[in-house]
Structure 1
Amino acid sequence: MYYEKARDFIYKNARPIDIARWKYLFENGSKEAVLEALSTYQNEDGGFAHALEPDCWNPHSAPVQTWVATEIIKEIQLEDKNHPIVLGILKYLSSGKDFNGHTWANTVVSNNDYPHAPWWDYDSQQELSYNPTACLIGFILKYANEDSQIYILACQLAQEAFSYFKDHFPLESMHTVSCFVELYEYLQECQLTELLDMKELKTLLTQQIQHIITYDTSKWAIEYVCKPSLFISSQTSDFYEYNQKICQFECEFILDTQEADGTWAITWSWDDYPEQWAITKNWWKSDWIIKYMKFLKAFYQ
């Protein structure tokens, strides 16, 4: 029943990109349909925008919006390094736009001109963040040609990121931690295990995940908290062994908290643009349905 209710909401409310993702993940839909929908969010410079990440309606390319596109590419397991969307992303990341030589910007100045959540405000004094840089490094290492300048730069940036992680361990931002987990997984997938000390990185990430997960599960339904699904997507994850019980609890939580319309509660909001937030909240409901259904598919027994 939980699947049927979720599916019904998706078909009635979701954006074309999320309907295509749903079909691919659960109904044998095509990668091509996902990519066609995804391409509508890509700008001429190769970056992504237009509220692909629903909390920011900026039509100008930004690293975080582009990161969301890389997540969808990862989700559908696209291996074509010469796909136009992939080449466009690499063009954007190679351009130097929104890049300070070490990290891509977490927020961009043009965010402030369009409806957005407060956490996407641009502040010229923003602190150094590896969200989404750590993920973007991994994407480059997977898809760029090994003799390209952007690939060579990404190797250097991966080492800088690892140094930052060690120097600031443990991190307190769950989203930054998830970016480091993804960098680790990209390196494993690409068999670039000599670029960093992977054993040390795995050990630190194992400790980091256990440090940052919200174990007070009474908060899960009412606050925006850190759950294991942010880091662990399958039972083959290197971080599953030490988190089996909490992953199983999250499955039970998902099943117990689905609402009558097939959705799950969105536990955050932004107040400055109420009309846009009402639309955005619906987009997030569809995204979270997909997230939770993927998790159940991977872990529920």
Structure 2
Amino acid sequence: MQYSTCDRLYDIHEVIMVKQLLLHDFNDIKSWIYRNARALDLALFQYYFENGNTEAVLAALSHYQNNDGGFGNTIDPDNWNPHSTPYNAQIVIKMLRQIGCTDVTHPIYTGIFRYLENTEHITDEGWMFTIPSNNDYPHGLWWDYNAGTNTYQSIGTTASLSGFILRYGDSKSHLYTMAVSYTGILIEKLKSTTEYGDMGVGGYCELLEDIEGAGLTEHFDYNFLCERISFLVGRKIRNEPGNFMANPLEFIPSRASRYYEANKEEVHAALDTIIDQKPESGVWSIPWEWYNNDRYPAAFAISENWWKACKAIDKLVQLRAFGRLAD
């Protein structure tokens, strides 16, 4: 591809003028993480920024896995239920995918697949977002079991899990058949539903990518999916600026994203905000609380610190992806 002189000057200007997180700020964040993060999050930080290895992340994750193959035990810092939940499986799969680990023969993955196929926390439409035993342990208010809100809050979890299974699962397994069925239901919901829950749109984004990656575009209503999901991403970014789940970086992890060009201004505004809001010392605060802190004040204080480490790492990864970390 050839560029005009003006194009080249624009690109240079964009690079020169872009706001970056300075090295001393990065080092300040690094020190905070070393002092405060869980072993799992420290392993992730080391993987991303210190040539750490996948094995260390897998080893740390193994301590959160239950005998049924699923995950609990505060893998989500906002839910202290030790029992396995479908959403926790979603968390772990996403975490591993982000570090390029998709070897589904590994015990962590085989355990997850076993859990997802056999869990009781499932309906005719997919895996449940909240489960009854959440109520027995410290948790954020949104983790209260609620069969009513599960009808739409479960969309994101089911979409994310189904996509991964379609792409990496055994096509001859019952679990794969379940994922095919759920995907069909999810696509029909896109045609008739307007409530997708807090993480539904993100789940649909992952499902679309996996349908492509699995070579299944002819098996589902692909063109409709592309058009509808693109519309929903744009609407969520623009219409819900106060909702932390509507951060464009939740949907657009790099310039390679299909949604980047249409939402470029919002993406770079979000990156600028990350840099501008870096505290003078330490890491960013989290923009939520449990809303039942009076019941679990000690648990929330611990959860808050864990989350600050998790989100600090997320922000650093996002900044680096867009060239926003200074050398």
TM over 0.5: yes
The answer to whether 1:155 aligns with 2:175 is no
Asked whether the 8 Å contact 2:156–2:196 carries over to 1, the reply is no
Cα gap change, 1:246/1:69 in structure 2, threshold over 3 Å: closer, same or farther? same
State the distance in 1 between where 2:244 and 2:260 align.
Answer: 22
How big is each residue's C-alpha offset from its partner over 1:210-248, in whole Å with a ceiling of 9 and x where there is no partner?
Answer: 11115686x5xxx64511011111111111121111111
Q: Which residue of 2 aligns with 1:11?
A: 34
The answer to whether 1:255 aligns with 2:264 is no
Cα gap change, 1:74/1:290 in structure 2, threshold over 3 Å: closer, same or farther? same
Q: Which residue of 2 aligns with 1:68?
A: 91
Q: Which residue of 2 aligns with 1:142?
A: 167
**TM-score normalised by L of structure 1:** 0.93
Q: Which residue of 1 aligns with 2:104?
A: 81
Equivalent runs, 1:75-154 vs 2, <5 Å = 75-129=98-152, 130-154=155-179
Deviation of 1:123 (Å): 2.4
Match of 2:259 among 239, 247, 252: 239
How big is each residue's C-alpha offset from its partner over 1:58-91, in whole Å with a ceiling of 9 and x where there is no partner?
Answer: 0011111111111111111113120110000000
Q: Which residue of 1 aligns with 2:79?
A: 56
Segments of structure 1 that go 5 or more residues without pairing to the other structure are none
Pairs aligned (count): 296
The answer to whether 1:212 aligns with 2:236 is yes
Q: Which residue of 2 aligns with 1:288?
A: 311
Q: Which residue of 1 aligns with 2:61?
A: 38
How big is each residue's C-alpha offset from its partner over 1:125-182, in whole Å with a ceiling of 9 and x where there is no partner?
Answer: 444131311111112112321111111221121111111122114x463411111111
Segments of structure 2 that go 5 or more residues without pairing to the other structure are 1-23
Deviation of 1:199 (Å): 2.2
State the distance in 1 between where 2:185 and 2:285 align.
Answer: 38
Letter matched to residue 258 of structure 2: D
Deviation of 1:209 (Å): 1.0
Letter matched to residue 235 of structure 1: R
Letter matched to residue 187 of structure 2: F
Deviation of 1:260 (Å): 2.5
Asked whether the 8 Å contact 2:240–2:246 carries over to 1, the reply is no
Asked whether the 8 Å contact 1:251–1:300 carries over to 2, the reply is no
Runs of 4+ in 1 over 4 A off after TM superposition: 214-217
Asked whether the 8 Å contact 1:86–1:143 carries over to 2, the reply is no
Letter matched to residue 153 of structure 1: M
**TM-score normalised by L of structure 2:** 0.86
The alignment-based identity, stated in percent, is 35
Cα gap change, 1:178/1:225 in structure 2, threshold over 3 Å: closer, same or farther? closer
Deviation of 1:296 (Å): 0.5
State the distance in 2 between where 1:173 and 1:216 align.
Answer: 13
State the distance in 2 between where 1:98 and 1:282 align.
Answer: 29
Cα gap change, 1:127/1:68 in structure 2, threshold over 3 Å: closer, same or farther? closer
State the distance in 2 between where 1:68 and 1:4 align.
Answer: 27
Cα gap change, 1:296/1:215 in structure 2, threshold over 3 Å: closer, same or farther? farther
Report which of the two structures shows the higher radius of gyration computed on alpha carbons: 2
RMSD: 1.7
Cα gap change, 1:285/1:214 in structure 2, threshold over 3 Å: closer, same or farther? farther
State the distance in 2 between where 1:152 and 1:177 align.
Answer: 23
Deviation of 1:190 (Å): 2.1
SS at match of 2:267: helix
